[in-house]
Structures are given as C-alpha cells and as structure tokens.
Amino acid sequence: MGASLFRIILAICFKIIEAVCTLLTITNYWKKPRRCPLIKDKILLYPACILAEKIRKREIKCETVINTYISRIKAVNPILNAVVENRFALAIKEAKGTDEMLATTRLSVEEIADKFPLLGLPLTVKESVALQGSSHCSGRIFPEVRRAMKDADALRLCKEAGAIPLLVSNTPELCMNFETFNKVTGTTCNPYDTRRTPGGSSGGEGALLGSGASLIGIGSDLCGSIRLPPHFCGVWGHKPSPGAVSNRGHYPDCREREIWKQVLHIGPMTRYAIDLPLLFKVIVEKDAVPLLELDKQVPVENIKCYYTENDGGSVLTHPIHKDIINALRRFVTHLSSKCKVQELQLKDLQYSAELAFIKFFSIDDIDNLFENNGEGAFLELMRFLTFRSNSVFPPILYGILKRITSICLQKSAITYCNDKISRLRRKLCDILGKDGVLLYPSHPTAAGFHGQNNGKVADYSYMAIFNCLGFPVTNCPLGLNSEGLPIGIQVIAAPNNDRLTLAVAQEIEKEFGGWIPPPFEDN
C-alpha cells in the first residue's frame, strides 16, 4: 500500500470514527458537572520543594502531611474515580518512621536534603508503573489481581530518596487510549468538569494533581501520556530524553528493548513547575547524569526560542483552537523581551500522524490482548459487539489495526517513514542545537467530553511525533480557556537538553501562574 493511499484511507476512517463518537457522546452537553470539595488546609498548597524543607526542619510532621493528603484523596475520589488501589495504612506507618528518624538523626538539614531530597513527600503512581505489592494490571481484567513483585526502577529511586507512595492511579486498559476508562476501575473524570476526560493514559495522575489531591506523581508516555493529562488538567509533565529514566517495571512492556527505550518513557508529573527538576533528578539514571547537566544554570536570556502554531495543515488533525493560539502568542510576546524568539515553519510536521502511526504499529512484541500481530482481534471484536468481551474497545482496535498493518503495510512504507523521521530529527537538532527550544501546541483543544477524544485520535500526533524523534518535552499549562478549562503547550528541546525545557517551564509558571485550582463546591 502506497503512502498516499494509506493517508486517504486513514483520513476516511478517522472521520467515520469521529462522527460515531460525536453521536454517542452528545448527551454529555446536558449533564451537570460535579465539583470537588474546597481545599481548606494550606498544607495542600505548598510546592513539594517547600514542603520537603518544612519536613526536614521539623516545622511540619511527615505524618500530618500524609494524613492531610489521604483526607484530600478520600474527599475527591468519589467524584473523580482516579484511584485503583491505595496503601494508606502503610504510608502512615512509613510517615511515622520518617518522623522518628528526623527526631534522632545526627544529619544536618543540608545533609538530609542531599541524601533524601524527597523525604516525607506523598507520591502517587500510575498503575502501569510497578509499585511493590500494589495492583499492576494497567486496567486489564485478570483472573486474580496482578501485583508488582518489586518496584520499577524509577519508583525504587523515589523511595530511596524518601518519598512515600500513597496509591496507584487509574489508566486505560493496557494504556491504549487517550481517555482513562476500563472495566476494572471505570471512568476517571476531569476535576475542572466531570463530564470531560482527564486524558490518558496517565489520566488518574492528571486528575489527582489537578484537584489538589496529589503533589508529585510518576507517569509514563508512549504517545503523549505524560503530556495530554497535564494539558487537560492544568498541571505539568515531563517526557524525558531517551535513556534518561529507566522504563523497567512498566506494564505493558515490549521485548524489543532497544526500540522500547526510545519510545516509552517514565517521567515526572507535578502540580508546580518548580517541582519538576526535584523529582526528575531523583529518577534519572546515573549514566545519564553527566549528559543532562541538570544542575547547570539556564538563564532564559541565553535560550533561543522558536515557535510554531500548528502542524502545517495536516488533513488528519483538527485546527488549533484560537484560545490556545492566543495563549501561545502571549507567552511569545513575553519571551521576546527576554530572549531571541523566531517563528518556525516545519512542513514535515503535517505528516506527524502518519509517521507516528506507522512507527508505533511497526513495533512488534508489545504486550497486548493478542499474539502474532493481532491474530484473534476480529474474533474478540465479535465478542465485544455481543457483550461477551472482558475488554474495552481501544485495545481491541489496537489488535485489529496491528493485524491490518502487518498484512497491508509494505516494508518500503516503513523504510520511507523511518527515513523521514530521521531527516526531521536531524533538521530539528540542527535548528535547536544545545541552546534552543520549540514551543508547540500539545493538542488542538481543551478536554473533550467523555468518549469524544476517541473520535479525534489523529490529534495525538502533536505529542507522539516527539516520541518518534526522541526529544525531551515538557507540557506547560497556559491558564484557562473561555470555558474555564485548562490549556497548554509543549516545550521541546534536542536530546539530552531537558534542562532547557524545565527552565522555560518555570518561566511560564512565573508569567502565567501555573496551576489554577478548578471550581470547587460552594460549601
């Protein structure tokens, strides 16, 4: 199948899916959204870096912090449905142990900060990232709950740094959706409007962070899953450079380890931009530390800033909403008074959807419902249509598409796709260098109603293309749109220049205020 014909077929399929999803979700317009309770305890409003300092200095007991966050989670979860399984009793026990250690230690405050940078901080974890003893099903139904036998590498480092995990949060089945729902835990809601999705696949994390029920979290990103939930929920997420953070302990996994390292990333999600470097430094692999130079100061004045307002006019994606364009322009105007800013036209970005689609569906041996490139997917579809399947539709669709592409997609198309990605990577690396960033929309719109995003699947390509390219990306909120929903942009740099995107994120937080609490109940 040629590339042009493939593009036409893809466009037709996406339009049909969108029309069906629009009809199925139209009733959401008339539903009344529920509100989360008001945040009353100021402990919930401290950034992690400040809260950690207060714990180290014995100004606040760790047990008090953990109990405060547990109370908040219990208050919002009946509304948001973001928690798969909690470990509150263990967390309280660990908090008491932290307080006892602080009461008897001979270490100075500075030494504690150096050895245990996350000491006493509550941490939430996406269910797909292994937390020892907790559910590790990724929204999939198993005969018995699949529990993590040991911590993922990133979680082990968080615990060694003193963090206290509270729970595992909801994810779509096998992380194969841009909305967060499955047959085990159900549907997770957006704290800004419960009729809408928090995104996926790290949607449970996004909802908890956006509602003030989490402070720092660990997510994973294959096609934008650390970025879309923060975009929809008004918080921060960072997809690291390939190899910076180990992805061992993630489910689903892939037996093509080298390819998997390039496209599947575990990374930090936070409510405040200033906390991204704190958490990121903890989970970075030792071998990557000298490459990333995260302790190197990055004055914004020394950064070259490029921006582009859309993907160049893809026939598969939707236009960028004017609220997002206007917010991007406001930040560009602000930056132009501090550093060099230039608009960038990259025509090849209009092929992002096709490139990402072919790239990911050409990867074999990803854990899924089926074996041997989707064999059995059409039979499972019949079970689904007759209400006999244990799965939701997106992972079944993955199997169907995997089966179709394995039969119909010519090797020449895969080679062409990989060559085009390589050329785009070289071009962007040459432009950005070691001191440049690109500002680019995360998604064409704010959060849609539940089910609506399934009809706009190509819009994921605004994020997924950078997994293909292997660039670090930070998602940054830029306030609320005209409907009171969060919107944001991506800040992108060349590989191993994560420190640049994190520096620009903190500049955005200073200018736009960062996280804006969602509308709460009146009482």
- Residue among 126, 239, 281, 359 flagged as catalytic: 126
Q: 414-420: list long-range contacts, CB under 8 Å, 24+ apart.
A: 414/358, 414/362, 416/3, 417/354, 417/355, 417/358, 417/359, 417/362, 418/359, 420/348, 420/351, 420/355
What tokens appear for 65 in the block? Answer: 């912090």
Rounded CA-CA distance 202/178 in Å is 9
What tokens appear for 459 in the block? Answer: 């819009």
Q: CB within 8 A of 401, min separation 6: which ones?
A: 361, 374
Residue 173 contacts residue 201 (beta carbons within 8 Å)? no
List the one residue out of 155, 120, 119 whose CA is nearest residue 136: 155
Domains of the chain, residue spans: 3-362+409-512, 363-408
List the one residue out of 401, 354, 357, 408 whose CA is nearest residue 378: 401
Burial of 308 (0-12, 13-18, 19+ CB in 10 A): middle
- Residue among 128, 135, 138, 201 flagged as catalytic: 201
Confidence at residue 522, expressed as pLDDT on a 0 to 100 scale: 65
Rounded CA-CA distance 165/156 in Å is 11
- 138 is annotated as an active-site residue: no
Confidence at residue 406, expressed as pLDDT on a 0 to 100 scale: 83
DSSP H/E element including 166: strand 164-169
What string of pLDDT tens digits covers the 523 residues of the chain? Answer: 555 676 777 778 777 877 887 787 888 888 899 999 999 999 999 999 999 999 999 999 999 999 999 999 999 999 999 999 999 999 999 999 999 999 999 999 999 999 999 999 999 999 999 999 999 999 999 999 999 999 999 999 999 999 999 999 999 999 999 999 999 999 999 999 999 999 999 999 999 999 999 999 999 999 999 999 999 999 999 999 999 999 999 999 998 889 999 999 999 999 999 999 999 999 999 999 999 999 999 999 999 999 999 999 898 999 999 999 999 999 999 999 999 999 999 989 999 999 999 999 999 889 988 876 777 889 999 999 999 999 999 999 899 888 888 888 888 889 999 999 999 999 999 999 999 999 999 999 999 999 988 878 899 999 999 999 999 999 999 999 999 999 999 999 999 999 999 999 999 999 989 999 999 876 5
Phi-psi domain of 139 (left: phi exceeds 0; alpha: psi -120 through 50; beta: other): left
Rounded CA-CA distance 277/289 in Å is 13
Q: Which CATH number does 3-362+409-512 carry?
A: 3.90.1300.10
Phi-psi domain of 367 (left: phi exceeds 0; alpha: psi -120 through 50; beta: other): beta
Phi-psi domain of 199 (left: phi exceeds 0; alpha: psi -120 through 50; beta: other): left
- 126 is annotated as an active-site residue: yes
Rounded CA-CA distance 169/127 in Å is 5
Rounded CA-CA distance 240/474 in Å is 8
DSSP state of 112: H
- Residue among 225, 246, 314, 461 flagged as catalytic: 225
Confidence at residue 364, expressed as pLDDT on a 0 to 100 scale: 87
Confidence at residue 21, expressed as pLDDT on a 0 to 100 scale: 77
- 422 is annotated as an active-site residue: no
Q: CB within 8 A of 410, min separation 6: which ones?
A: 1, 2
Confidence at residue 72, expressed as pLDDT on a 0 to 100 scale: 99
Residue 34 contacts residue 455 (beta carbons within 8 Å)? no
Rounded CA-CA distance 287/346 in Å is 33
